[in-house]
């Protein structure tokens, strides 16, 4: 999958497709906070994401406290958003 940066139009389309994600202030990432019933649910979710991430060789930036997971999707190699982030957001939505 391409590592090239999405155009502004593609970023807009991405945000319309995933209304629960917001564009980071610098425009180089999308962010979302997830809340689960407890740590078990949160970590189960993170495990599913981690397995996908390693297979796809595309890894989230994330922070977890108990039932809360804050996630940032960006493509380091592109210094911004790429199709890899869109694909990952799509997969993640399927885990909820």
Q: Please give the residue ranges that form the binding site for ligand H2B (CB under 6 A).
A: 57-59, 74-77
Residue 20 or 61 with smaller CB distance to ligand H2B: 61
Rounded-to-integer distance, Cα 76 and Cα 91, Å: 19
Q: How far is the CB of 38 from ligand H2B (least distance, A)?
A: 27
Q: How far is the CB of 73 from ligand H2B (least distance, A)?
A: 7
Residue 35 or 76 with smaller CB distance to ligand H2B: 76
Residue 35: what are its φ and ψ, rounded to 5°?
-125, 135
Query: Which tokens hold the place of 52?
Result: 């996908």
Query: Which spans in 1-96 are helix H?
Result: 8-17, 39-56, 83-94
Rounded-to-integer distance, Cα 53 and Cα 32, Å: 17
Residue 11 or 75 with smaller CB distance to ligand H2B: 75
Residue 25 or 57 with smaller CB distance to ligand H2B: 57
Q: How far is the CB of 47 from ligand H2B (least distance, A)?
A: 17
- CB atoms inside a 10 Å sphere around CB 41: 14
């Amino acid at each position: 999958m391409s590592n090239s940066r999405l155009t502004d139009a593609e970023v807009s389309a991405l945000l319309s497709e995933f209304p629960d994600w917001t564009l980071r202030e610098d425009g180089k990432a999308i962010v979302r906070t997830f809340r689960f019933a407890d740590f078990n649910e949160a970590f189960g979710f993170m495990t599913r994401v981690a397995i996908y991430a390693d297979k796809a060789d595309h890894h989230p930036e994330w922070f977890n406290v108990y039932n809360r997971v804050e996630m940032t999707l960006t493509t380091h190699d592109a210094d911004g958003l790429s199709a890899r982030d869109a694909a990952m957001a799509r997969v993640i939505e399927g885990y909820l």
